Each structure stands twice: as C-alpha cells, then as structure tokens.
Amino acid sequence: MQKPIINQEEEKREILRRYRGLLRVCHRSKSRSERAKIRKAFELAVEAHKDMRRKSGEPYIYHPLAVAKICAEELGLGTTAIVCALLHDTVEDTDITLDDIETLFGKKERTIIDGLTKISGVSDYSNTSDQAENFRKMLLTLSDDVRVILIKLADRLHNMRTLDHMLREKQLKIASETLFLYAPLAHRLGLYNIKTELEDLSLKFKNPEDYDDIVNRLQKTQAVRTRFINAFTLPIRRELDKQHLKYEIKSRTKSVYSIWNKIHKKGVPFEEIYDVFAIRIILNSGPESEKADCWRVYSIVTDFYQPSPERLRDWISIPKSSGYESLHTTVMSPTGKWVEVQIRSERMDEMAEKGYAAHWKYKEGPETPESKMDRWLEQVREVLESPSENAIEFIDNFKLSLFSEEIYVFTPEGDLKTLPVGSTTLDFAFHIHSQIGYHCIGAKVNYKLVPLSHKLRSGDQVEILTSKKQRPKEDWLSIVVTPSARQKIKIALKEEKKQIAEEGKEMLKRRFHNLKINWHSSNIDELVRYYETYSALELYYRIAKGSIDLKKMKGFQMEGGKIFFEKNLPVQNLSEQKIVTTAPAKGETLLIGDEKQKVDYSLAPCCNPIPGDEVFGFITVNEGIKIHRTSCPNAQELMSKYAYRVIKARWSNKELVQFEVGLKFSGIDDVGLVQKITNIISTDMNVNMKAISFEANNGIFQGRVIVLVHDTNHLSALIDQLKAVEGVLTVDRIESEFA
C-alpha cells in the first residue's frame, strides 16, 4: 500500500482541525471543566498513538477523533462518553493502563474503557457460534455501562466507513460481523440511521457488484421519483400552509440493503421496489400540541388520499419499546401506488434518528446532564432486557440464554427475540404470544413459507401466519423445544379434551336415558372399569371421539337402574389393538400411538419420527421415553453408549400409520391463496404438512407441499379439495423426490 508523503507540520494542523471539528458538535459539554476533560483525553490519546498509523497511512488519532465525533454528533452522548471514545484504543494498543485512566479521569471512565477493551479481546473468531458468544459478552457488558455498547457501535461505524484499505478477507469478515451483530443491535437500540448505514456498508463490501448496481439504478430513477413526490405532496403542502402549520417534508427511498434483500430473498424485481418510499412530514410543534397536530395532518393526508385501514400504525399513543414515536399510514396515490406517510414532530423525529440519546434534550428539571444521562442509560438497559410484554419470562430466558446456546431472530418490525438453538417457528409463535402460538399455521421466514416445524437460525426474520380455525395438536409437543411453549400446548390440549369429553358425557346421558339407566356415579364407574379408561373424563372423551361405540354397549345386567357387566366378557372395540399397560420390560415392545399406553413417551425433536418410520425408544432421565428414528443422527451414540436404556418400539396399528406424499400445484397468484391451501390441508382435511414451498412469478405461482396421509383414498380426497380452490389450476402427486 502506498503511504502518503508525511508532512509533520501539516499533519499536526490537520489533527487540530479535526479536534476543533469534534468540539463544535459537543453540544452537551459546554462548561469549562468539561471542555478541559475532553482536551486532556485528546492530548493523552495523541501522545499514546503518536507512532501509530492506520492501514490507510493516516495518523491513528484520526480514528478515535472520528469515533468521539460520532458519539457526540450522531448519538448525542456527553463528556464521559467522548473522553472514553478518544481513549478507547489506548489500553489495548499502547502503554496506558486502566489505573492510569482511573487516576487521570475517574472510576466511570475506567469501567467503560475496561468494557471496550474486553469486547475487542474476543473479536477474533471465525464461526457463527463464536459470533453469538461475542454478542452475549457484549450484552453482558451492559451491566457495567450501556455507553460501552454505544461507543462500540460508533467505533464499528467508523471502521466500516473506512474499510476500503483493509485486505479483502478482513473486509468480508468485518462486514459479515457487522450485519450479524451490530446492525441488529443498533436497530434494537432505536438507532435507525446507524443501523441502515451499517447494513448498506456491509453490503457494499460483501457484494460490491450488487451494491453498485442498485446505487446506479437508484440514481437513474431519481428524476422519476422526484416528479412523483412533488405531485403527490403538492395538495398536502397547500393545505398545511393554509392551516398555518410549520412543517418539513422529507422523502426517502428504501435503503440499498433493504432493496437488495427484497430482490434476493423475495425475488422481487428492482422495477417493483425502486419507487417504494416513505414520505415523512415533520411538524414544528411544541410538546403540548404535537400529538393533536399529528392527527390533524393525518386527517389532511387522508382527505386527499384513500388510506389502507389495516396499515395505520399509531406509535404516538403507544411508543415502541425502543422509544420510537410516529404516526404511519399507507395511502393510495392517484397512479394506483401505495405510499407510506410518516407523521411526527421534530422531537419525535430526533428520537427516531438518535434513539434514547435524544431524550436528555427534552427533559426538564434541576438534574445535571450527567444524571439525566444515567437515567436514560438505565432505560436503554431495561429495553434490552425486557423487550417482550412478559418481562419475567424474557428475563428468565435471557439469564438462561447466558448459559445455553441460543439464536437471535427478528419480528417483521425488527424486534430482536432470543430463543434456544433448535427452536422452531412454532416456538417463536408461542414466544410472541400464546394466542399466536395456538393459531399458528406456518410462517414466512425471510419471506419464504415454512411449516411449523421449521428450525430457525440466527438472523432469520420471522412472520407468523395464523388462522382462526387452527387448534393446538398433540404432535406439536414434538415440534417445540422451549419449555414455555410445551407447557402452553399441554394446557390447551387438556382444555380441548375437556370440551370434547363434555360432548361425550351428553351422549352417554342420552344413551342412559334411552336404556332407563340411572345417571349415577356407580354406573359410570362400572363403565370406566369395563372399558378400562381409568377415568370418567377419558371415558367421555372416547365416547365423543367414537372409539367407544355406545350402540354396541351390551352384555350388562340391570337392576333398579343400576348396571353390572359380566366379568369375563371380552372387551370390545379394543380387541383389535394390542395393549401394553405398563412400561415394557426389557425385550418387550413399546407401542406408539396407542391411547391406552400408560408409558410417558414423546417423539424426539432431533429426528421428528412419523408413523411408518423405523424407531426405537430411549429412556431419558427426566423426560420419560423419547422415540427416535433408527436413522437419527444421535441414534448411533445413544445405542452404543447407553444400550441398556434402549427399548424396542413400533407404531401401534395400521390405521394410524401415515405416509409422506409430495404434491405439486400451480395456479394464479392471489393474496391469501397460500393460506387457503394450508387451511384446507391442515384444518379442513386435518392432514399434517411436513414442508411447503411456494414461488410466485409474473402472477403464476408454483407450490410444493409434503403431506402425511393414511392411504390413496385419503390422498385423492385431499387433491379434490385443493383443486376446488379458486385460482388453483393443477394439483399433482410428485412421483419421486426429484420430479
């Protein structure tokens, strides 16, 4: 690399020029003592880094100066953070020690710089789990001071802005890490501008051709957009002027990264995205009238343009957990294009751009700036630690996650959710809300349709699809891995069983009435004994389900309304099934799917066995018997190390065996079609789906689904139902996996 010719005098002047540039944006450090502190930190950093140069050949001090400037200007941070930003690389790279920092500045500064040094100490890693580990360590430093995270973000932002001089390999590593860790973190903290810039810069280095291509296309289409925006906002501006509202209208296209994401993850062509943008109306209104003014503007906008009622987002009444306040509506333009209009006050706008960092400016009271700062830092911490409505559950998960492997996934709104490794879309749905879990029929992960059992990965964006008709199912217990989801499913299943049993009870009452048998507990007990159901609830349940046929109830004697069964009569209905009533002894076989099986077993989530699979049971320490496929990746280890805990198992009877069949379908693309199809499969036909994929291109969609059916009759009934859906053209069975 060519180094610039070094002119020491010139460089000194440039360093001072940059230092004065920093002071100009330190709005929160006005007092003489604060300025003196910054000066001291600057001089110490200059001295400590004096012999160091960046990869570009520039003096190293340019970097801490730039990081401090980002902290002051873009994050609105105060003196302590500026001092620490100036010194952030000294302890790691120079002779300065933490003790020096404490002596020269103070305890707070020591803690923050210590945190920053620790983070960079773990920054050398090569795989995703190490990255997750790093993220975890970073979150842990929050217990010291959130400023550590904010300065680290500023540090990363400056490194990304100056990544050109790095080796290609290093560029790729830093860019990936930025996308994986820092951009989501910035988003989580409500720092939307920084998040967007980090994402765009990451793309620029990871996929330079794609990045340049999108930037060029955006430039070429700029004039079209400007014309459209001017025409669109003209009537609004006129009316706002008439009503003497002070405002500013800004418009911004989607970021390069989000356009790229749509093109590559969703397959949407550039032509359909480039003119998607949001118009922002920023009102110059004081705190007493800002909310009312926002709604006034809303009513003006919607007087001219028809709003989409389901796309009104009111974050004015209830701000987002990151502190974001804004009123969003999506309206139809005269050219038939949806346009998002964001309405907010100047204060809200600054909050949206700088996150909580903007808070201090608007808070009144006798507090010093630093103590206000501590208060909002406290708030940031609270936000990070409890982003969900169920704070206790989240904190539990959070603490738990410090010790177990975990993944970080996002809601469509960009909220970060932490789940254990192996979590499925169904776990995610329950994590959001029990009701969402109960009605979950699938999800869109990174805009692609996936089934309930889809395993999530860090960085996935997950949108849950629900249906009112959906109910929790027994086999869901083998899909979820989080204890809370498992618990919720069990409660729901119990509740449903109770409801079904209630119907069975009514049926039995009617039957008793017809046969003139008294409705008496001793008679019910007699039936429980006869059918070996162990409980009245189970008896009623099986009557309702039809596995006990009351019409076939015979062979009993009656005396004054009381019934007695003859002892040795064969038990009907159940005779065709083989029953194991106790845990199978060694050498015996466990029957899966047998209602009367009293053994506590569950299907192992690692291999998701289905009826028909060759399986074995494994006796676990706490969770009863787990059923694994013999082809399970864990099978070999379990069988070789713990042979004495392995028991034979097979599926109980033919009726319950299901076969996996692939179906392909095509049709005319229509909103909600996928939901109709999945509804028919899972709700109307009560068929289990194993996988579903769906692609739409120029209005034609093609889909594939893998379902579990009992036999060919079952399959053709399903195909007939699917063919009847409006818009569906063909439905065919896939003869082989590669058809």
Residues whose CB falls within 8 Å of the CB of residue 145, separated by 6 or more in sequence, listed in order: 108, 111, 112, 115, 377
Nearest to 579 by CA among 547, 604, 554, 555: 547
How many C-beta atoms lie closer than 10 Å to residue 513's C-beta?
Answer: 11
Token pair of 638, please?
A: 């379990």
Token pair of 659, please?
A: 């076969």
User: CB-wise, 145 or 155, nearer to Mn ion?
Assistant: 155
CB of 355: closest distance to Mn ion in angstroms?
Answer: 21
Please report, as residue ranges, which positions from 562 to 581 form the binding site for Mn ion (by CB under 5 A): none
How do the residues of the chain divide into helix, strand and coil, expressed in percent and rounded to 5?
50, 15, 30
Of the CA atoms within 13 Å of residue 534, those in its CB half-sphere come to 6
User: CB-wise, 54 or 320, nearer to Mn ion?
Assistant: 54
| 93 part of the active site | yes
CB of 128: closest distance to Mn ion in angstroms?
Answer: 23
Q: Is residue 155 close enough to count as binding Mn ion by CB under 5 A?
A: yes
Task: Identify the H or E element spanning 408.
Answer: strand 406-410
CB of 141: closest distance to Mn ion in angstroms?
Answer: 15
CB of 94: closest distance to Mn ion in angstroms?
Answer: 12
CB of 158: closest distance to Mn ion in angstroms?
Answer: 7
CB of 416: closest distance to Mn ion in angstroms?
Answer: 24
DSSP secondary structure letters along 13-36 = HHHHHHHHHHHHH-TT--SHHHHH
Residue nearest Mn ion by beta-carbon distance: 155
- Beta-ladder partners of 466: 440
Q: Is residue 177 close enough to count as binding Mn ion by CB under 5 A?
A: no
- Helix 222-242 with 290-304: angle, nearest 10 deg: 120
The sign of the dihedral angle between the CA atoms of 98, 101, 106, 109 is: negative
String of b and e for 630-662 (b: at least 16 CB within 10 Å)? eebeebeebbeeeeeebbebebbeeeebbeebb
User: CB-wise, 162 or 221, nearer to Mn ion?
Assistant: 162
CB of 113: closest distance to Mn ion in angstroms?
Answer: 12
Token pair of 716, please?
A: 């053709």
Please report, as residue ranges, which positions from 54 to 93 form the binding site for Mn ion (by CB under 5 A): 89
User: CB-wise, 160 or 343, nearer to Mn ion?
Assistant: 160
Token pair of 86, please?
A: 């100036």
- Please give the single-letter amino acid code of residue 5: I
* Active-site residue, from 93, 102, 475, 660: 93
DSSP secondary structure letters along 577-596 = S----SPPPTT-EEEET-TT
CB of 166: closest distance to Mn ion in angstroms?
Answer: 13
User: CB-wise, 155 or 197, nearer to Mn ion?
Assistant: 155
- Beta-ladder partners of 651: 592
Nearest to 440 by CA among 282, 251, 274, 675: 675
User: CB-wise, 62 or 530, nearer to Mn ion?
Assistant: 62
- Beta-ladder partners of 662: 706, 734
User: CB-wise, 112 or 300, nearer to Mn ion?
Assistant: 112
Whole-angstrom Cα distance, residue 294 to residue 548? 64
Q: Which residue has the tokens 């009367």?
A: 596
Whole-angstrom Cα distance, residue 327 to residue 312? 8
The SS3 of residue 561 is coil
Token pair of 643, please?
A: 């042979």
User: CB-wise, 155 or 325, nearer to Mn ion?
Assistant: 155
Please report, as residue ranges, which positions from 409 to 428 form the binding site for Mn ion (by CB under 5 A): none
User: CB-wise, 63 or 354, nearer to Mn ion?
Assistant: 63
- Beta-ladder partners of 154: none
* Active-site residue, from 10, 43, 47, 92: 92
User: CB-wise, 150 or 452, nearer to Mn ion?
Assistant: 150
CB of 161: closest distance to Mn ion in angstroms?
Answer: 12
Nearest to 329 by CA among 352, 308, 305, 353: 308
CB of 118: closest distance to Mn ion in angstroms?
Answer: 14
**What do you get for the CA distance between the two ends of the chain, in Å?**
54
Binding stretches for Mn ion (CB under 5 A): 89, 155
Active site residues: 92-93
